[in-house]
Amino acid sequence: MRWQAAWTQAMTDFRADDEEPPFADVTVRMTVPVSIGGDRVRAELSNRFGDAPVVVGHAAIGVDQALEVTFDGQRSTEIPAGESRWTDPVELAVGHGDHVEVDLYLPEPTPYATANGFRFQRSTTPGDVVGSRRFPAGETGLAAEGTGWSLPSGGPFLRAVEVAGTDAGAVIVCLGASITTMGWPQLAAAMLPAEARIAVLNRGIPGNRLRHDAPPATPSWGRSGLSRFDDDVLGTSGVTHVVLAHAGNDIGLPGDHAPLGELPTAGQQIGAYRRLVDRASAAGLGVLLATITPMAPEQGADRERIRATVNDWIRTSGHEVADFDAAIRSTADPTRIAAEYDVGDHQHPNVTGENRLARAMAEAITRSLR
């Protein structure tokens, strides 16, 4: 049986975050869009950053109706700290764009430690309500609705949903930071024709950088792109291509949120890209590069020159390019995001801007696979 990733997220360390309360005797539901279909489904649950085992008392996967899943034939499982567990496969027909629900009943006190994404549900009543059609839940997450932000589904412990039964045309892993996490990979997948069977997978982490791991004060920003490449790209089932959509945080964070000495030269940043391109090529993967979108104007002219130089290299690198910079920059001032695509902080795109990026990526993918 050949498994192929149909939805993913990059797990990161939320142990120092107190915005999301722990779980105890509740059911968690994550509803995620799969970008390719199949007739069997399984899910990977991760406790990569936990300090203690995670007990899953009961779990289910479904589209129109929930199907109970087992773990090595058992209804419950314990995931040791630092490890993952796969559900046993279930026979479930899913198609391009279907939203798969994954329910986890967590009977014991369980910190929100290994997670990502912005939106999931937790039951508002205690007990096991896995698979309930009238799930007594309130939506929760790390960003509020109504802000203009694109808020993809995700949540705790769920690292991947995989399918089997038919072959994918391509499995494309998108490695990036907050703009990636916000959802253009899922939007790009929805724009591609179902018959192409192309999976576009999100491995973004807010605050993530290409060259440096997260500062100690903000571990949720994750391991660097260089550090997590093997796990989040090469460790993805069926991967054929990688998108590198990093570098804004490498340039923007040092000085305020990271040591100023970590600010790269353009040559150092390009060198990091080249290292990942070489690793991808050695693994037989196709490479697509995304240009760096405009940063907040207060970042200054020196950092803007680094961004421009790296973008010039990306555009002339010989690889397929999704020109994110051109897609959302202002025509009046190319160093800024256009007002209609700006969420308001002059660094991140709003929902309309995310769709512009998704269109640019879908077109780049189409060219790459032609």
* Residue 150 and residue 175 share a domain: no
CA 234 from centre of chain: 15
pLDDT, tens digit (0-9, with 9 covering 90-100), for 289-318: 999 999 988 888 999 999 999 999 999 999
Statement: residue 95 has pLDDT above 80: yes
* pLDDT tens, residue by residue, 265-284: 999 999 999 999 999 999 99
pLDDT, mean of residues 168-196:
95
The two tokens of residue 127 are 């007990």
pLDDT at res. 134: 86
Cα dihedral value 151, 244, 13, 351, nearest 10: -10
Residue 263 maps to which CATH number? 3.40.50.1110
Q: Which two tokens stand for residue 33?
A: 């869009």
Quote the number of domains for the chain.
2
Model confidence at 246, pLDDT cuts 50, 70, 90, reads confident
Same domain, 110 and 21: yes
Q: What pLDDT is recorded for position 143?
A: 56
* Closest to 253 measured CA to CA, from 206, 290, 287: 206
Q: Which domain holds residue 128?
A: 4-158
Please indicate, yes or no, whether residues 58 and 131 belong to a single structural domain of this protein: yes
Residue 163 lies in a domain: no
Single out the residue in 158, 182, 205 at which a domain terminates.
Answer: 158
Segment 38-71, tens digit of pLDDT: 999 999 999 999 999 999 999 999 998 899 999 9
Residue with tokens 């130089």: 309
Calculate the CA 313 to chain-centre distance. Answer: 25
Residue 271 lies in a domain: yes
Of 136, 158, 180, which closes a domain? Answer: 158
Lowest model confidence (mean pLDDT) among 36-45, 143-152, 323-332: 143-152
Mean pLDDT over residues 201-215, rounded? Answer: 96
Closest listed residue to residue 179, CA positions, set 365, 358, 1, 26: 358
Is residue 144 predicted with pLDDT exceeding 70? Answer: no
Are 126 and 233 within one domain? no
Using only C-alpha atoms, the chain has a radius of gyration, in whole angstroms, of 20
